[in-house]
Amino acid sequence: MLKNHLKIAWRNLMKYKFISFINLFGLTIGLTCCLLIATYIIHELSYDKYNTNASRIYRVTRSFTTTEGNISLHLGTVAPPIGPLLKHDFPDVEQQTTLLGMGTAPLRYEDKKFNESNVCFADENLSKVFTMHMVTGNIKSLAEPFSALLTEAQAQKYFGNTNPMNKMIRLSNQVNFKVAGIYKAFPSNAHMHPDILLSFASLNDSTLYGAKNLQTNWFNNSFFTYLLLPENYPVKQMEARFPAFLDAHAPRSSTGMMPSKISKLYLQPLTSIHLTSHLDSEAEENGDIKRVYIFSVIALFILLIACINYMNLSTARSTLRAKEIGIRKVVGASKKELLLQFLSESVLICWMSLLLACILLKLGMPWLSKISGTDLSIGMLLKWQVLVPVLLTPFIVGVLAGLYPALFMAAFQPVKTLKGLFKAGSKSISFRQVLVVAQFAISIILIITTLVVYSQLRYMEKKSLGFDKSQVVTIPWNIAIGNRFEAMRNDLLQQQSIKDVCRASRIPSGRLLDNSNAATVGDSIRPVNLELKYVVADYHFIPTFGITMAAGRNFSRDYGTDSTAFIVNESAAQMIGWKTPEKAIGQRFKYGSTIGTIVGVMHDFNFESLHQKIQPLILIPTDGTAQPFNRIAIKVTGASSATAIAQIQSVWKHYLPDEPFDYNFLDERFSQLYEAERRQQTIFTLFSCIAIFIASLGLLGLSAFTITQRIKEIGVRKVLGADTGSIVLMLSKDFLKLVAIAAVVAFPVAWYAMYQWLQAFAYRIGMPWYVFIIAGVLAGLVALVTVGVQAAKAAMNNPVKSLRSE
């Protein structure tokens, strides 16, 4: 029986080649998209699960609260005493490990020198919490001061084929570390990838951090702290004891508040970090569960469009098969047997599609890896949790797509079909219309989302940030520069392509995470209830970034008192309570432990990405004695950036011959902040094109079929005097009506979805109304061209031919 079903299915496939092609092609593309996106999703969901104890590992995070109780800052990192104290106070904690990221640090071995961005101080417990594999050496060497472990790639980079063991690498041209082992790099689906581990014990050295600091510094929250807890441990109960824990150990705030009132600790499951954690400090940029949802919906949309094609074309074609169905019924086929026959046809076509999709998947995988920025491979699909659903897909899709046509056809009355009285009833046409509307609605939604994402991205790239981000070269600060900075700056300014040079603790495009207590100073010192972020900047910060002043002036050497001067931005001035920027000038102000005078108010500018609102900001001047610097920024002339870079490099080489030279451009750094959105846009654009293409292929098949059905009517109309134009209009009108209905359905859905999406941006476009018109018109045009070309062909036929063919 099945053999007979498959046989006739195959012959039908071959007989209606065009329709079969549309079905096969659509389903293949649909399944390929689904498989590609499934691979991506599987990868995203697999983060950190490679750890043997993944479900028992938690990260300790810390939030800070304003006096109103709002969380103003939530960090993935905590203060250094917290980890060891937690282990001490909570005996259930099986293991605890702490890591400190170094940011960008210059590292050197003989003549090999690089700026490393994944250097971490880590303790020997790291491998007791996380699953790690040593290639040579022992993880225990992390207990010894000034020892280092390297990944294989890093060992190769610095030592080539020589044995790296016991060699000395030099950090920041200050401290030597002895290589004590090689470990296998963390897999791509880990939420962090330290590739050089320095022993945490080294931090006890006061040149690096200091033992006392490690035990008492509750304000430096930059230590990643992980706990290994027992199976099914009541984490919530543990968290409930954290306020008491903080109050027992942490010092009170400067205003005398209990520590638990201004800050909270949390336990975050390791496996949830990658997709759901977007804290103010993360080891790396994480993924986003929303992106996973969005991509899943898109994949299902495309598959749905392909299924609708199948349903539409099969029911449309069913009139041609009416006779066959009638005969089968007459010779004894039951309804069930006919259902099975048609379902086996759709399942067969789905199987063929799946096979083709697997080939396309193989070809498409490297490309998806690239645009999604992840490391994907087909190997991820080779486990039963994935293979079983994949192998079931043809049955599910086959039944989904085939059931309606099968039910529709199996219900044919044999008497009518055999007498040639059969016509697809008006009911079937209306359902088919619903399906076409659904297809076009999906396409229109995808077009709108693509256009809105594009508009928002363009807006972010073009929006004036309130300062000049162009032609600014930035270089990581290197401790080795030390107090030679002024000399180096003067040499740089000698170069004709260089306009200005500054250094700061943070530069625009980075996050603003540092703050201290602020107070106005009048008759008495009155604390300001405000998260006022600070940046330590030199006197050239404002001109280098082209920041404009709303009132007052920049720091200047002409004023002897400027070492205790402050500059705030407009937001800060306003929130502190000064009605106009001018009112702020000359006010006495206390920030941290310094009392000084406000000398200037900057116009607001976007220091951080446009996802973030402009924060109140204060610039603290530096005379260069303290060096909390992070980067040097150099404003160059627009003439030739290559020349400028060469000149900067030569000055660098002169002062720091042994230090690596790395640079990037400020506008590129800003651009990178929107990398995730750009990827999203690429994927949206691509998939909406695919969706529209498949939908229009379906429309092509359907309209071709409809026109064949009406060929006699067209002939009669022509004989009666209709011209080609009126016939094309008549045939296209029906489909255009469907597109119009689809637009009405799609608009509110797309509006709602994109409204939600835009909420993630503090600075966003208004919903662009014209995007809706473009999407509607575009869908209409696609439909018009698809249907119109065929309609014109039919209309230009000699009517005699079509009438004779009856």
Where along the sequence are the contacts to another protein (CB under 8 A)? Answer: 1, 4, 7-8, 11-12, 15, 323-324, 326-335, 337, 414-415, 418-419
- Compute the distance between CA of residue 579 and CA of residue 351 in angstroms, rounded to an integer: 71
Kindly tell me which of 420 and 586 has the beta carbon lying closer to another protein.
420
Contacts of 659 (CB under 8 A, 6+ apart): 106, 108, 113, 173, 478, 480, 652
Q: Which of 503, 471, 518 is nearest to 638 (CA)?
A: 471
Kindly tell me which of 301 and 342 has the beta carbon lying closer to another protein.
342
Smallest distance, another protein to C-beta of residue 338, A = 10
Kindly tell me which of 331 and 642 has the beta carbon lying closer to another protein.
331
Alpha helix locations (H) across 710-723?
711-719
Question: DSSP readout, 367-401?
Answer: HHHHHHTS---GGGG-SHHHHHHHHHHHHHHHHHH
Smallest distance, another protein to C-beta of residue 191, A = 57
Smallest distance, another protein to C-beta of residue 420, A = 8
Smallest distance, another protein to C-beta of residue 707, A = 23
Kindly tell me which of 46 and 413 has the beta carbon lying closer to another protein.
413
Measure the CA dihedral 509/510/515/521, to 10°. Answer: -30
Kindly tell me which of 5 and 678 has the beta carbon lying closer to another protein.
5
Kindly tell me which of 211 and 411 has the beta carbon lying closer to another protein.
411
Kindly tell me which of 16 and 652 has the beta carbon lying closer to another protein.
16
Residue 199, beta-bridge partner list: 122
Smallest distance, another protein to C-beta of residue 414, A = 5
Q: Which of 698, 12, 673, 614 is nearest to 342 (CA)?
A: 12
Kindly tell me which of 333 and 620 has the beta carbon lying closer to another protein.
333
Smallest distance, another protein to C-beta of residue 15, A = 6
Kindly tell me which of 4 and 496 has the beta carbon lying closer to another protein.
4
Contacts of 748 (CB under 8 A, 6+ apart): none
Kindly tell me which of 383 and 419 has the beta carbon lying closer to another protein.
419
Burial class (CB in 10 A: 0-12, 13-18, 19+), 161: exposed
**What letter does residue 515 receive in the DSSP assignment?**
B
Side-chain-side CA neighbours of 120 within 13 Å: the count stands at 23
Smallest distance, another protein to C-beta of residue 327, A = 5
- Compute the distance between CA of residue 684 and CA of residue 448 in angstroms, rounded to an integer: 10
- Compute the distance between CA of residue 666 and CA of residue 672 in angstroms, rounded to an integer: 10
Kindly tell me which of 298 and 338 has the beta carbon lying closer to another protein.
338
Smallest distance, another protein to C-beta of residue 409, A = 14
Q: How many CB atoms lie within 10 A of CB 766?
A: 8
Beta 95-101 vs 223-228: how paired, if at all?
antiparallel
Kindly tell me which of 337 and 531 has the beta carbon lying closer to another protein.
337
Smallest distance, another protein to C-beta of residue 313, A = 17
SS3 136: strand
Contacts of 349 (CB under 8 A, 6+ apart): 9, 13, 20, 23, 24, 27, 310, 398
- Compute the distance between CA of residue 445 and CA of residue 747 in angstroms, rounded to an integer: 7
**What letter does residue 76 receive in the DSSP assignment?**
S
Q: Which of 297, 318, 296, 307 is nearest to 435 (CA)?
A: 307
Smallest distance, another protein to C-beta of residue 1, A = 6
For the chain, the farthest-separated pair of C-alpha atoms sits apart, in whole angstroms, at 108
Residue 635, beta-bridge partner list: 472, 500
Alpha helix locations (H) across 463-484?
none
Smallest distance, another protein to C-beta of residue 394, A = 22
Smallest distance, another protein to C-beta of residue 712, A = 20
Contacts of 469 (CB under 8 A, 6+ apart): 508, 509, 545, 666, 667, 670
- Compute the distance between CA of residue 524 and CA of residue 521 in angstroms, rounded to an integer: 6
Smallest distance, another protein to C-beta of residue 411, A = 10
